[in-house]
Structure 1
């Protein structure tokens, strides 16, 4: 191929990618204006500015290459730079598509209003633990998706496009648990623990608690610290309410609920559920968690199973009370020398306290904007604490919850960008 032909081909290829970059900049084609309008003003502007910043930087890089191409460098150099721009484009596209897909879920007004309410819940949950530490909570963007478990893309982490950090805590709520969205407390505590540095400190505490039984067992519990931290955060913020939803998600065949996966930060499902049951017993006494614990003990009893992972469950069972104590009552530097239970007192979300909140509030529990802003996390716990035994009751409970969430967001809807 002649130099002239090669340069012509490079111009055509570069024009293609510059055109793709220009299309990417039309964020209203990624998510509809009415979906963007369902975001709180600050979050919407911050998110769009972050995405457009990456796109502009990529466009500028392509413009520099276009000018360079006309200056006559060797075609081989231009092609290397063009392939680099193509890879950068794919990374920026992945970032834009991730957030665009999350925002686009809000096109339906009803779902959009529910998700705005969950955004508010997420920030309230982070505030409950970060404000006493003098730390600011990042904005939250919740979105529904398929699957069993929730997830979070933390605010402040470096994204695929290398254009900066994530501008919000992007929290996936599974569609089946939109009726019981307490996993949001677990995911927001991941964000909190990252910001205040609790994970490593809790890991050392867990290892020290378990070490008298076994050094290898202590190492395992240390490796599970980040997920245990998130479960503990969900407990102190919501009490019993997240535990049934957790059990629904992590249940499976007995071999699976005892399985220890290398490099997986999640404890085996049986130990995870039993630790949550132990937290409820320690703080609340007897209650419905005892029935759940008995069911899981009967269903997945590790005693006598000829399996090393099940033997870990058996060895850990007697240490769970000490672990629950270490998680909730031991002071940590991450919390200013206080236990997490001083930042968010589990007694405020005990069944007795929630029943008193419901009784004292009466009908205003679900209609008062003052109560919603003052006590959103406890009201969510009230609305999700019971486990309906038939589909009709479950449907009615979901309707009450969604009606309340749709009214929760404290600010009026902004206009579309």
Structure 2
């Protein structure tokens, strides 16, 4: 066998070996072991499987084409270097297919964990509700999973995956330390806000508005330049505050409660605002959306946690400039009317009037005596109500965690039954009542 023939034969063998390994990648529906209530939504599962099957099918075709080429007369005439070069790119494509499979596998494997799997399915439902803006865009499928560390993250739907291809679903990573309390919504809805902002084109629209202010020359150029740099993360915080009110700010305080050096750190390359300013802005946005003394109280508390003494004069000047421009900047966010919302503000389309602190308190008192009303409320409203009750001292951390854990299970089960044709003839309320107890809200709680 000549050197050329040996190269063709060897590369053909390697390509066929790739094909055998590709065939061992099975559908998640055939490989994951989870209770039905922990499964993905029908939309998410269909979108993910459709995307992965398409990638495997295309790769399988490319491998067969390569085998036909390398075993044929053209491939035998090609130099070993050329045949190997083509095989190398084929193998890189194979690893891309594997990496895409692993992205979703990492999230789905947790669905087999006792309790965590069902809670994650409930978080899928919660995220979808927080993202919904009927009439403005179609909500993409959402998949939640847990990870270590204090921060959450999102791989947005319809963005490019590593190696190419459009992500079929929003994948949200939630820190385990947030499980389970109302502050979970703070992290989760921040990431949801990134997806919503992308669907509405909010970042580009707000950057243009900020540049107009900067060009006016009426404010501190450094401060407005920083607001523009940070706008992507700020919009996500805004979304979270608009959905769950004080729950968002209190949760944010928990995430960025770090040693002083980190809280006051100014990194011009970091898209996240200085943590000290980030909490102050969250309180300011809350005060505009939901007027109440609680916001000033939280802002003062944050100042007590992190006094400015000991900072350099230059550092203090930057913070002073940001705080001076903060009220105008917060109002710009609240009053901004992007083209995608057709003349309306984000505040108007998100229905913040129904989530004022007094109204949330009324909901809590009503649900306490009529538990069935909790089931009828949107999940994001439930987190806003219970988070407000926690801030007001009406519910203890232990009772809050128990109630929310049961509600996450309830939403997961309800979603599963809604999507199941086998349950179509059953009374949904009877099925839910027999399987899952709706949690009671305490009448006399002490924090």
2:239 is matched with which residue? 233
Query: Does the CA contact (< 8 Å) of 2:361 and 2:389 recur in 1?
Result: no
User: Matched residues in 2 for 1:36 and 1:69: separation?
Assistant: 49
SS in 1 for 2:246: coil
User: Matched residues in 2 for 1:28 and 1:360: separation?
Assistant: 42
Structure 1 residue 249 and structure 2 residue 255: aligned?
A: yes
1:90 is matched with which residue? 95
Gaps of 5+ in 1: none
User: Matched residues in 2 for 1:367 and 1:98: separation?
Assistant: 38
* Greater Cα radius of gyration, structure 1 or 2: 2
SS in 2 for 1:170: strand
Moved more, 212-221 or 199-208: 199-208
The offset of 1:51, in angstroms, is 0.9
Structure 1 residue 10 and structure 2 residue 11: aligned?
A: yes
- The count of aligned residue pairs is 407
**1:306–1:115 Cα change, 3 Å:** same
Structure 1 residue 348 and structure 2 residue 351: aligned?
A: no
1:192 is matched with which residue? 196
SS in 2 for 1:224: helix
2:52 is matched with which residue? 51
The offset of 1:297, in angstroms, is 1.3
Matches within 5 A, 1:323-362: 323-362=329-368
Matches within 5 A, 1:200-219: 200-209=204-213, 212-219=218-225
Query: Does the CA contact (< 8 Å) of 1:150 and 1:187 recur in 2?
Result: yes
**1:46–1:299 Cα change, 3 Å:** same
Deviation digits for residues 260-290 of structure 1 (CA, Å, limit 9, x no counterpart): 2233221111111000111223343444443
1:124 is matched with which residue? 129
1:395 is matched with which residue? 398
**1:39–1:283 Cα change, 3 Å:** closer
SS in 2 for 1:171: strand
User: Matched residues in 2 for 1:30 and 1:87: separation?
Assistant: 25
**1:310–1:65 Cα change, 3 Å:** farther
Gaps of 5+ in 2: 421-447
User: TM-score, normalization: structure 1?
Assistant: 0.89
Moved more, 219-228 or 308-317: 308-317
SS in 2 for 1:103: helix
Query: Does the CA contact (< 8 Å) of 1:35 and 1:106 recur in 2?
Result: no
* 2:146 maps to which of 137, 144, 147: 144
Moved more, 60-69 or 357-366: 357-366
User: Matched residues in 1 for 2:159 and 2:313: separation?
Assistant: 38
RMSD in angstroms over aligned alpha carbons? 2.6
1:296 is matched with which residue? 302
User: TM-score, normalization: structure 2?
Assistant: 0.83
